[in-house]
Chain A
């Protein structure tokens, strides 16, 4: 099978509908299609990934035009079938009128009737079998593929297809889409894939079987009419050197399928011998010349009608297979299958709820709504402390949050700040945070020399947690309004990206110590995140100072940047 188990119950009409609907989808945004099919897949549940699911999709997702295409194709197929049946009935009845014509001279030759309704039937069935043999068989035998193609071209079902030319324009178009798409000249079913040719071939072969079946129905009907409403005489005659016993044996063999049930329809040697006639010398036994009709009726039913009924069923089955195979290769079908499959196992309701949650629900609930940030490092509200006074000229009390990598004794020099004292928070129990706040408040209460604000030193590579935001809020509450709090993001030397093996392309720059564009982008995102969270505090006196890179800033006399950076744990 080409792609996977194809859907069942797909015929040419469904194929046409799918082809139309999928072709329409090619112009749509795949994400829109994903959403559309997700709804249906959720309704169908696991059945979405099944033949029934595909057909339900066609019913639901197909546009009215696609449904029309399907209906028109179905009508075209049905119309061709009607034509095939009508032609078959007509020709079959006509053949009976010829074969069973009796004008009182020579009796009707049983051999001729057998030849037409059993022999010829067997031959055409064989040829149909060649035309419809699996491709793998045809390709194995040299010349068989070409012969099969030629036989398919000569199939009488083509007459039914040709009759579509007389149909209304829409149906004619639909019929041609089915039959003429094999070579890709028209945007028909499958747009020229080899399998669309198979569909056309089996459409024709199926119509042929309809026609042949109708032919035998017509012939049987004609025969029964003659038997009932006229007086027929049967005999057998041949130029070949066949003895009565030999012919009787043949008849016995032919009668085997029904002889056990209807002995009267199995002529014996006596009837065979008594009904042989020669040119100009009719059989003398009136009983024997009438005794053949039961045999002939059964022969027409068993060797004419029944095989054709089986052949029709087989052709319909193969047509279904061809349609299903063509469907799996329609442009867009694989995508449709993937969409329905993906959605058969979609997220649970809580996940859906999460996805549907408004974006503002993702911000911290206790803070005012965010204002848009243009760029992380260039926000108007970012530096109120700077606007009031230069931080370099102020005295600050430092709070090191969660072991930001700066040593207490050199951090002032490293940061270029005059530091009045250092406290630690963000680790251990929450008491440590309270103590740090208390020390900051105490320091800020000093007047000689005065402490102008608090610098919170945090790790640049970690996101701002609610715990830290809580700390800032508590600190502000304790300090009161107006006292600057600057948040300094400390980037450890070891936190600079050191690209190495195993890093995917485009993320880092192997072998280089300088940050890659991807690293820079991630850093910018982190800074933006900090700015959002700090702005959400609603405190204009609390802001992020420029992100600080310990490797790049000037250092105070006697302290180098390297000295100031603690080794990373």
Chain B
């Protein structure tokens, strides 16, 4: 037989890895394809039989196709196909050819349109696909699945079974036992909420199907990891830039020379509003960019009634947001005292202790006072009169102190982590966990889950009654995102940004430093 002959398909292996995702209807095939390819517009619907034709989705990184996934219709008449194949009475080495004949038979296109369509990539004479069989681990195994598994076994293609629990994974073991009789590799993966490392693991498992694909798939894993790292870096730069913009942004308005005090007050208020709007716009734009970076354009963010869930959608300047994300006045006071003590300590050292540590004491007191004072004015957006221009200009902003940067950074990090972990199979708005879900996730989480999913971002302290408040929950979210030392580094980077003032060089360096600190936090998943 010649190469490319349909009868010769079982010997055809290698080349670009290609996998047909097959299975019963409504078991998450399209979701899996969306998750593994990152294609957002795959049609995923609750009704069965929505996929009627096979669709090939290449995974392309930097112009290079790494592998392809074929989304196929579900088995609708598997017993009919199986009956036809059994009736062929062929030797085991001719079974794949029998499946190919089934696909080619013109009458089957009408009688078994779904099966013909789903088997076609498996018996493609030029590029036969490996098969990825998807079942629902939340539903019991049934014998009605056997005909389709037999049909797939006849194709002789390298195969992997994936148990995708659409809900609670209560039947995984039963499925594992059943699938093990038909498939070489059996894995469990929630197609909709799979973490990034789980997705890569699955890709590596594809490589186990055939030696010839292993190199390509290892390369794919590397390339995808690189792209992931680049996405994290890009998102970090977007966030760092936005934080810098937020901290430096000003709005200016001309002040009429004959403006009365009342008119000036009104002008100041409108300028303040304009500044707030601009800052909100800058933040939203950054959110949007991060979403686009991860292939989620137009993602909606869902607002919930609970304060914790409002974290992503609440207005940046609402008092609640400041309380939830900003440093407390006590924090500021402590930070100011520490800084003042350090400065005073320098004087003590320079006087060889002759000051009896008075420098440190006075410095701490002064720093604490300054911190307390600045902590009380974090939410105020100042409007000043520009005297250099003859007092004819009013300038709103920049926001005083680094708190705005800290607030914006915290919010952006939370958002970026959620977006980065979101798969393309997930539909609907980006949801921030509410307090009840936080508690449930805390009770149900396992040690190996890691702080990467939407659920686990919510932290492990929610069950502590002392922290049972929205404020505590959001603080827990931030704590999970960035451990103590990292948070301090972030805080220092934001402070550096603030201190940079109008110096381009210093601002650039501070933004760079902030981006470098953010990148591993976002990329940790």
Contacts and interface: CB of A to CB of B under 8 A. Distances in A.
Interface stretch (B1-9, B234-242, B403-411): B234-242
B314 interface: no
A526 interface: yes
The 8 closest A-B pairs by CB, nearest first: A345-B60, A510-B444, A505-B455, A46-B63, A335-B292, A463-B48, A351-B55, A197-B504
Interface in A517-564: 518-519, 522, 525-526, 528-529, 532-533
A388 interface: no
Interface string B203-219: 00000000000000000
Interface in A422-472: 426-430, 459, 461-467, 470
Contact of A351 (B56, B458, B500): B56
Nearest to A505: B455
B93 interface: no
Given A194-B511, A494-B170, A332 B285 contact: yes
A338 interface: yes
A257 B28 CA distance: 76
Interface of B: 24-26, 38-39, 41-43, 46-63, 65, 71, 74-80, 83, 113-114, 136, 138-144, 165-171, 174, 190, 192-193, 230-231, 233-235, 237-238, 241-242, 244-245, 248-250, 252, 281-282, 285-286, 288-295, 297-299, 395, 431, 433, 437-438, 440-441, 443-446, 449, 453-455, 458, 500, 502-509, 511-512, 515
A461 B25 CA distance: 11
A494 B286 CA distance: 46
B444 A501 contact: yes
Contacts of B295: 338, 342
Contact of A500 (B166, B248, B444): B444
Given A193-B244, A465-B75, A569-B140, A185 B59 contact: no
Nearest to B57: A347
Interface string A327-342: 0110111111111001
Contacts of A334: 234-235, 237-238, 289-290, 292-293
B140 A3 contact: no
B54 A350 contact: yes
Contact of B505 (A30, A46, A139): A139
Contacts of B49: 362-364, 463, 466
Contact of B143 (A328, A403, A430, A500): A403
Counting chain A CB atoms within 10 Å of each CB, the highest count among B55, B59, B244 belongs to B55
B117 to A, nearest CB: 10
B441 A505 contact: yes
B170 A498 contact: yes
Contact of B509 (A31, A139, A364): A139
26 contacts: A4-B230, A138-B505, A149-B503, A184-B248, A195-B508, A334-B238, A334-B290, A337-B293, A354-B54, A354-B71, A428-B79, A459-B142, A461-B139, A462-B139, A465-B75, A495-B139, A495-B140, A500-B444, A501-B444, A503-B167, A504-B193, A505-B433, A508-B167, A529-B47, A568-B174, A569-B140
A350 B505 contact: no
Interface of A: 2-4, 26, 29-31, 33-34, 45-46, 49, 135-136, 138-139, 145, 148-149, 182-185, 191-195, 197-198, 201, 328-329, 331-339, 342, 344-345, 347-348, 350-351, 353-355, 357, 361-365, 402-403, 426-430, 459, 461-467, 470, 492, 494-495, 497-511, 518-519, 522, 525-526, 528-529, 532-533, 568-569
A339 B41 CA distance: 13
A384 to B, nearest CB: 22
A2 B500 CA distance: 18
Contacts of B46: 522, 525-526, 528-529
Given A334-B235, A528-B47, A569-B174, A500 B168 contact: yes
Contact of B441 (A4, A510, A525): A510
Nearest to B285: A331
A359 to B, nearest CB: 9
Contacts of B298: 29-31, 34
B241 A193 contact: yes
Contacts of B505: 135, 138-139, 145, 148-149, 194
A518 B289 CA distance: 30
B14 to A, nearest CB: 20
Contacts of B443: 510-511
Counting chain B CB atoms within 10 Å of each CB, the highest count among A4, A331, A355 belongs to A331
Counting chain A CB atoms within 10 Å of each CB, the highest count among B63, B65, B114, B445 belongs to B63
A34 B297 contact: yes
Given A30-B291, A466-B76, A504-B453, 14 more contacts: A2-B512, A30-B297, A49-B63, A191-B245, A194-B511, A335-B297, A338-B231, A353-B55, A355-B42, A362-B49, A466-B49, A497-B170, A501-B446, A519-B167
Contacts of A34: 292, 297-298
Contact of B445 (A347, A495, A501): A501
B47 A192 contact: no
A23 to B, nearest CB: 9
B331 to A, nearest CB: 28
B314 to A, nearest CB: 20
Contact of B249 (A136, A192, A532): A192
A532 B171 CA distance: 28
B140 to A, nearest CB: 4
Counting chain B CB atoms within 10 Å of each CB, the highest count among A34, A194, A462 belongs to A194
A467 B58 contact: no
A302 to B, nearest CB: 33
A105 B78 CA distance: 113
A365 B170 CA distance: 36
Nearest to B56: A348
A49 B62 contact: yes
B305 to A, nearest CB: 15
B25 A465 contact: yes
B190 A504 contact: yes
Contacts of A193: 241, 244-245, 511
A365 B112 CA distance: 12
A470 to B, nearest CB: 7
A354 B53 contact: yes
A529 B49 CA distance: 10
Contacts of A182: 502, 504
A518 B136 CA distance: 16
Contact of A361 (B41, B52, B139, B250): B52
Contacts of B78: 467
A364 B25 CA distance: 13
Contacts of A459: 142
B39 A347 contact: yes
B288 A30 contact: yes
A135 B140 contact: no
A347 B244 contact: no
Contacts of A336: 292
B292 A339 contact: yes
A29 B300 CA distance: 11
A52 to B, nearest CB: 13
Given A26-B281, A462-B139, A465-B76, A504 B51 contact: no
Given A331-B285, A508-B168, A184 B250 contact: yes
Contact of A135 (B167, B192, B237, B509): B509
Contacts of B234: 3-4, 334, 337-338
Contacts of A30: 288, 291-292, 297-299
A329 B167 contact: no
A438 B58 CA distance: 49
Contact of B437 (A347, A364, A462, A506): A506
B170 A185 contact: no
B504 A502 contact: no
Contacts of B140: 461, 492, 494-495, 568-569
A418 B58 CA distance: 56
A528 to B, nearest CB: 7
A344 to B, nearest CB: 6
Contacts of B77: 465-467, 470
